[in-house]
Amino acid sequence: MGLPVFHLRPRLIRALQGELLAVFAPLGWLAIQTFRGGSPLDILTQQADLFAYMLLGSLLAFGTFGWLLGKEQERLAQLATIDELTGLANTRHFRQRMSEFAHLSQRQGRPMSLLLVDLDRFKGINDTYGHQVGDMALKTAAEVIRSAVRRCDIAARIGGEEFALLLPDTGASEASHVAKRILRAFSQATVMTGDGREVVLSASIGVSGGVPSGQEATEDIFEDADKALYRAKAEGRGRMVMA
């Protein structure tokens, strides 16, 4: 059994790196004083306050700078994986995590499920009420989907009005319950226009699930869910279809 792996946030790593670098400032000053003919022990004894001031000041300055640098690094990393409009994962992050989930599911022999959620008649919303209302509809849809996920699930926006929900360690039956819960939430979801009109939202959902097999596992899971979504659209929208 291996040792546990601890993952440190970039801001903490950068702060620790800053603290390490900070030590060299007072040590450099001590080296210069020693080079000029002084004894390191005498210098530390006679100018202990100055050395302590330089050490603490350097630790504070370098540590703070490292923490701020790490915080910005985290922000940029998050932007690379998040859809800016909805705050859900973007397509790139979704594809990466789906591959990871599939490999884990294969190795453990446990099921995973995928829900593809598509807003119904979204083009009509944009054409009738404008893109601002369309953006509000997408944000509302994202909130509906986000409310249905667990901490271990991945909710993503993978297209204009298309969303995906990855459910690890979840069979098709459980996934169908999640889909129905999302549909019920959509039945109560509305968007208000600037002139007070209410736009009612609805969505169609395709569901696939099981234990992936073969090298093309992720493609097969996605294709099955996509076909189920197409059937949900063809059968009248506002419904869920299992692959």
Active-site residue set: 161
- Do the beta carbons of residue 207 and residue 228 sit within 8 Å? yes
Distance CA 193, CA 213 (A): 47
Residue ranges of the alpha helices (H) in 10-47?
Answer: 10-22, 24-35, 40-46
- Do the beta carbons of residue 153 and residue 165 sit within 8 Å? yes
Distance CA 174, CA 43 (A): 72
Distance CA 89, CA 78 (A): 9
| Residue keyed to tokens 């801001």 | 11
Distance CA 56, CA 218 (A): 53
Largest interatomic CA distance in the chain: 90
Pairing, β 240-242 against β 154-157: unpaired
